[in-house]
Every structure is written in structure tokens, then in C-alpha cells.
Amino acid sequence: MKKLLATTALMISMQAAQAWEALPEKAPAPADNPVTTAKVELGKTLYFDPRLSVNGTQSCNSCHNVMAGGDDNRAFSQGATGKLGGRSAPTVWNAAFQSVQFWDGRAESLEAQAAGPITNPVEMGMPSAKAAEDRLKQIPGYKALFKQAFGTEEITMDLITKAIASYERTLITPNSPYDRFVKGDKQALTAEQQAGMKLFEAVGCASCHSGANFSGPTMAPGQGFYMSFPVFKDNAYVEKYDLMKDKGREEATGKPEDAHKYRVPTLRNIALTAPYFHNGSVKNLDEAVRVMAKTQLNKDLTEEQVQKISAFLEGLTGEFPEQTLPRLPGTHGTTLLAP
């Protein structure tokens, strides 16, 4: 009996230890798109090039600013022609560890995600994939970059998105105070943050925001980790922040059973990516903690609990690899953009 109890205690201890994972320093890549230096350089150039938008005003970085928290700190992003999107732009930092892409999971990979905004009429506004390809083909310097990255001067949407995805797989923010703490540095988190870490688990936050990326368990490619939001609808927050207007994943699948389901977002660098939620309706982190506790777990937190959990979430801010602006290939003596 004593041996059984000891074994059970060890298993519980091991499970508790496994619940807190440090962020890997390398992101997984699909077999048909291994990350190479040349692909990353091309992808970075494309990521920052506004000429991938219909009027040359919008790049990937416009809404997913890697010089900051990987988003644009707006409730809804503004596209190339001034229209506003319908959801808040999620951070691109550590997106490679998300189970699927977009709030509703309609893209199974970074490659699939990268294609969406380019031809979305509200975002970058290119009329077609061919239009984007033709635009780049008219910029002489891109042929050499594609040759270096893929061994061909051919420019296709498939190769464009593979390059952008390769760059995005380098956007990882390891070594946060939390990461150092779980690796053994018990001074990396403050006493308040450590208390918040315990509350984060005890209250139930970790039931969804688990794993190294705090976005749920590792899933098979193309399989997303989704949760309903809100779960508990009979509270003032639901109306105050208009949480029922958006149908979530149902808008992508057309299935009523997917109503108000969303991919669980990462909590890494969450202190830098306000406003919060799919509709950017909550401006500060403390309030987001209150809303999540009530709408997802039906719990009313004390202000002390809110402060401690928020302090822990601050400890998820990692180290950002230095980003330098690429030199974009030019069109000597002419422009491709309409006046």
C-alpha cells in the first residue's frame, strides 16, 4: 500500500511538472517546406513589402508588427483601402506553435494563413493570386531571391506563402521570466507572479491555456484546439463587450455546432497585445482576466487574485529576436503603382 501511494504521488508530481513547459527555441516545419536561411530572407522581404497590397500601402507587418508585440494594438485593423477588418489581429510572435491559424481556425498552417490577407478585399486587396504573382514578377530583384530560396526564378503564390511562413517560424520569443523559472531559476518570477501562477492553475485557466505556448496541447497538423467563448452567458460582461455578435468558427464552417467556438490563443507576450479577445473589446489585462474567469469558469475573482494572475501573465513576456528592416528590391526608373 505504501509503495502504491508513493508511486501515485510520484505520478502526480510528474504530471504537475509536465504541465509547465518552457517554449522551444525552434518551431516545427512541414516536410515540404523546411526552413532555410534563403527562404527566411525572402520571406522577411515579402513580409515587409507593401507592394503585395493592391495600392502599395499595406504589408503583413502593417497589422502584425514585429517591431512590437506582433499585432497592431487596435480592436480592428485597417486594410489597404481604409476598410476595417471584423476581428482583432492576433500576434504573429510564436504563431508557429498555434494549432491552427486565424481566430476561427480556417487556415491549417502558416502557409495557408499567409495567402489569405493578400487577396482579402478588406485587407491587402489584391484581386487574385495571379495579380500578386504578376506584381512581384515585375520587380527584377525578386527573381534572384526566389532562385536562392527555391532554386527557380518562378514566382507563384505557393512559393510566396512558403517563404513568408519560413520567416514567421523564426518569430519565437523564448527565455521569458516564466521560462527561466520552469527551467530551475526560482528567482526569475517574483513572489506575486509565483502566487499568480498557482492561481492560474487553481482557478482553471490552465485547462485551456496549457502547453508551452499557453494555447492548448500540441495537435496533429490541421487539427485545431477550440473552445467556446463565452461558455457562461448569463453575466454582464457578455452584453457589455458584445461577445455573442460574432459566430466564431461557424462563420468559417457553416456548422451550427461551431457557433462561438474559437482557436485558443496564445498568452505569450499577452501584456503587449492589448486590446483583448476576438473583437478587441477589452482594453486592459486586468479586465480581460476578470472577463475570462466569469465567462469561461463562472468565477468572480477578488482584486487580489486578478492582480496576481495579471502579474504572472506579465512574466510570459519573452525575449524578442532583433529584427532589421530588409532592403526591398526596387523598380528602377518606374513604378508599378497607380497614381
Catalytic residues: 123
DSSP per-residue codes, 272-310: GS-SBTTTT-B-SHHHHHHHHHHHHH-----HHHHHHHH
Pairwise CA distance, residues 24 & 172, whole Å:
8
Listed in sequence order, the residues at least 6 apart from 48 whose beta carbon sits closer than 8 Å to its beta carbon are 59, 60, 61, 325, 326, 328
Tell me, rounded to whole angstroms, the distance of Cα 334 from its chain centroid. 37
| Set of cell numbers at residue 321 | 529576436
Q: Position 97: which residue type? A: F
Which contacts qualify for 131-136: CB closer than 8 Å, 24 or more apart? 131/54, 132/52, 132/157, 132/160, 133/157, 133/160, 135/51, 135/52, 135/336, 136/51, 136/52, 136/160
Listed in sequence order, the residues at least 6 apart from 303 whose beta carbon sits closer than 8 Å to its beta carbon are none
| Set of cell numbers at residue 175 | 527565455
178 to each of 23, 88, 175, 307, how far by Cα in Å? 10, 26, 8, 17
Please report which residue ranges of 109-218 form alpha helices under DSSP H.
110-119, 129-137, 141-150, 157-168, 177-182, 191-203
- Local structure of residue 25 (DSSP, 8 states): S
* Strand, helix or coil for residue 84: strand
